[in-house]
Structure 1
C-alpha cells in the first residue's frame, strides 16, 4: 500500500525558502514530486500540511497543493487496482509524464530565485542569455524534449558566426541552458532520457582564454606618469593599488574601508567566493593611500567613487559599481594610448599583470593564497598563461645548435 504526504523539504533552495514537495512512499521506498513552489518555514503549517494564511499567496499555493495531491492520488489509485505490480519509480514517471513542462517557465523560476537571493549581476547576465535563446528558437514555448543536440549545435553556430560571440561566451550560454535543464530534472519537471548534455552529446569545455598583462617596464610607466588630469591620476591610482594587492578585483577595491587596514595589513573578504584573507600593505600602496586619507564619506570608504550609494542596496550598488568600472576603464585606455602602451588597459588587466610578473617566481600554493582562489587547480589553469620560463628553455635547447 502506498502513502502520500505533502512536506516542506529540509534543504533550502534559496536563502530563506524551502521547496514544497509531495512524498510518495511504497514498499518502504520514497520518491518526491516537486511542486516548483517555495516558502519560508514560518509560513508552513506542519500539522495541516499547508501554507499558513499569513502568506500573501496562501490561497493560490494551497489550491496548487491540492491539485498536485489529486493528480498524485489519482495515479496511485490506478496503480493499486492494477493486477501488474508497478514500482514507485514507474508511478512517479506516470505522474510527472502527465504534464508538459516548458523550458522558459523553469527558466523564469530560476531567474526569480536569483532575484530573491539578491544575485543581481548573475540575474542580469543570465536573463539576457535566456532571452537570446528564446529569440533564436523563435517561439514562446519550448518543451524540454525539443532541446536536442542538433538544436544546441545550431544555437552554438549562430552565436559564434552570426552573433560574433567569443568561444568562452558561447560556453556561458550553453551553461545556463544546462543549469535550467538540470533544475527541471531535479524538480521532476523533465526527464533524463533526452538530456542533451554529456559524453557524445553537448560537452561543456572552457576554451583557454588569452591573458596578457603589462610588463615591469610598462607598470613603471604608470607609476612614473606625470601631467595626468585628476580623473586620469585617480584611475591610475586604482589600477596600481589593485596590482599592489595581488590583483584585487575592482568591486572589492571600491568597497575597502579604512577599518579594513590594521597593524600594517589589509583584511578583507572577497565578494566573488567569500574567501577571507589579509595582505601586508606595500610601501608603494601606502603612498597612494595617503592621498585619499584627506577625503571622507559617510560609508568610511577609502575611495570616493561609490559616493552616497546605499551599500545595503545590492542592486543599486551593482549598478553604480558597473558604471564606475566603465568610466575608469575608458580613462585607463586613454592613459595607455598617451604613454604608448600598446596593450588593452583595464582594471582587470591589473590581475593579469600580477600573474605575468610573478610568472614562475612564486610557488603555486602561495599564488593560490594571493589570488584568493578556492582551488589550486584554478590557480594552475590561470597561471598557465604566464609561466613561460620552462617552455622557453626547452625551446632554446632544441633550436640553439
Structure 2
C-alpha cells in the first residue's frame, strides 16, 4: 500500500527520495524523483541535495532540523506534482507508457515562470521569515529589472527565467554602468538576482541547465573599496565636537560609538538594548549573521552610553539609542522603515559633522567601521584577525575572530584605539 507521501496515479508511482548511492563532495546525497512503472524505475535529479541527518526515510521528507525545510518541502511537492501530472496525461491517452516516457513528458512541461512573479512570492516569504535585509535587496533588483525592461520597450511581467541568459545579464550590466551605478552596487544587484535564480531552481520552477551564472560571473565586478578610513587624530576631532542640535548629536554619537564599539554597524546599534550592556562590556548578536560579540567598552564608548541612559533607559529591554520605539515600531516592516529613515538622516548629518571637524573624507556610518578595523591593524593586531578591509569581502573572516573579545590581545588593542 502506498504511503501518504507517495503519489500513485496511472499505474505509475512517483516519489522523491534521498539517493544514497551517490555522495557529493560535501557529504550530502542528491534528492531524486523516482518513477516506478511496471517494475522499471527512472531517476530524475531535482538539483537538490541533503545531508543524511536531515532526511527522514520513512516519511520521505526532510526532518525538522533541515535548513530551509519549508523551501525544500515546497520544491519536493512541485516535483512530485509535475511528474504525477505527466503520468496522468499519458494514462488518458490510453496507450502503454513507461517510466522513461513519464520523465520525458514532464521535462517538456516545465512551467514557464515569470521572474517578477517569483520575486514577489519570494519576497513575501522573506517578510514572513523576518529577513528584512534580504527582502530589501530583492525589492531593489525588482525595481531595477522593471525599469530595464520598460526602457527596452518590453513588458516586465512577461520576463521569464529562461530569457535571463548570459547575454541578457551582460546587456543589463552595460545599462546599469551607463546610468553610473558603481561596481559594488552592481555586484549587489547581480548577487541578489543569482540568489533569486537559485531559489527558483530549488523549487523546480526552472531547470538548472538554463542557469546563466556559470558563464556570467559576479566576480567580474571590482569590489575593491576606496580607502575610507580616517586617522585617530581625525576621530579625536570628531569626539571633541559639541553639536548644536539633537540630530547632529545623535549622528556624531553613533559614528563615535561605532568606532569605539568594534565597528558595530548601524542596524545593530539601533537594536541595542540596555540588557546588552553588562559589567563594562557590550554583548550582542549581529542581526545580519547571528554572530555573538562580547567586548570591553572603552572609556569613550561608556561615556556615550552614560549620556543616553537618562534619556532612553526604561528598563533593561529599552533601546539604548533613540532610534526605535517598542510602542511605535512593532512589526518587522515598521522597524525596517524606521531604521532606513534614521539612517537616511544620519549619513547626511555626518557630512556636516565632517565639515565641522575639518575631515575631508565623506563620512558615513561605514567609515567608522572601516576606521576601527584599520586602527586595530596598526595597533599590532594581525591582519588574519582584523582585516583592513573589514567590509563585504572579508567581513565573515573578521567576524569569526571577533566573535569573542574575551582574550587580552583584543582588549589591549581596544585600549589603544
- Please confirm whether the aligned pair reaches a TM-score higher than 0.5, indicating the same fold: yes
Task: Give 1:2-401 correspondences, 5 Å limit.
Answer: 2-4=12-14, 24-26=34-36, 27=40, 31=44, 71-75=85-89, 77=91, 81=95, 86=100, 89-90=103-104, 92-96=106-110, 99-137=111-149, 138-139=154-155, 140-161=157-178, 163-198=179-214, 201-205=215-219, 206-207=221-222, 208-226=224-242, 228-298=244-314, 299-310=317-328, 312-360=330-378, 361-367=380-386, 378-379=397-398
Give the match's secondary structure for 2:35: strand
CA positional deviation for 1:145: 2.7
* 1:364–1:379 Cα contact (<8 Å) kept: no
Whole-angstrom distance in 1 between the partners of 2:243 and 2:213: 56
Give the match's secondary structure for 1:126: helix
In structure 2, the gaps of 5 or more residues are 1-10, 18-30, 48-58, 60-77, 400-417
Deviations 1:232-285 (A, max 9, x none): 233222211111111101121122222212222111111110111211111222
CA positional deviation for 1:202: 0.5
Q: Normalised by the size of structure 1, how large is the TM-score? A: 0.71
Whole-angstrom distance in 2 between the partners of 1:142 and 1:181: 13
Give the match's secondary structure for 2:218: coil
Whole-angstrom distance in 2 between the partners of 1:209 and 1:80: 65
Whole-angstrom distance in 1 between the partners of 2:307 and 2:99: 79
Give the match's secondary structure for 1:113: helix
Whole-angstrom distance in 1 between the partners of 2:116 and 2:323: 38
Whole-angstrom distance in 2 between the partners of 1:276 and 1:189: 37
Give the match's secondary structure for 1:359: helix
Whole-angstrom distance in 2 between the partners of 1:378 and 1:80: 61
CA positional deviation for 1:87: 7.2
Whole-angstrom distance in 1 between the partners of 2:246 and 2:112: 60
Q: 1:330 to 1:6 in 2, by over 3 A?
A: same
Deviations 1:97-134 (A, max 9, x none): xx323323222222222122122333233223223213
Give the match's secondary structure for 1:295: helix
> Once structures 1 and 2 are overlaid, which stretch shifts more, 280-289 or 221-230?
221-230
* 1:79–1:86 Cα contact (<8 Å) kept: no
Whole-angstrom distance in 1 between the partners of 2:203 and 2:392: 32
Q: Normalised by the size of structure 2, how large is the TM-score? A: 0.69
In structure 1, the gaps of 5 or more residues are 8-20, 35-45, 47-63, 381-401
Q: 1:125 to 1:184 in 2, by over 3 A?
A: closer
* 1:254–1:305 Cα contact (<8 Å) kept: yes
Give the match's secondary structure for 1:272: coil
Whole-angstrom distance in 2 between the partners of 1:373 and 1:356: 15
Whole-angstrom distance in 2 between the partners of 1:373 and 1:159: 21
* 1:297–1:308 Cα contact (<8 Å) kept: no
Whole-angstrom distance in 1 between the partners of 2:92 and 2:201: 25
Q: 1:104 to 1:322 in 2, by over 3 A?
A: closer
Aligned length: 332
4+ residue segments displaced more than 6 Å: 64-67, 371-377
Whole-angstrom distance in 2 between the partners of 1:178 and 1:79: 40
CA positional deviation for 1:291: 1.7
* 2:308–2:321 Cα contact (<8 Å) kept: yes
Give the match's secondary structure for 1:193: helix
Give the match's secondary structure for 2:191: helix
* 1:130–1:176 Cα contact (<8 Å) kept: no
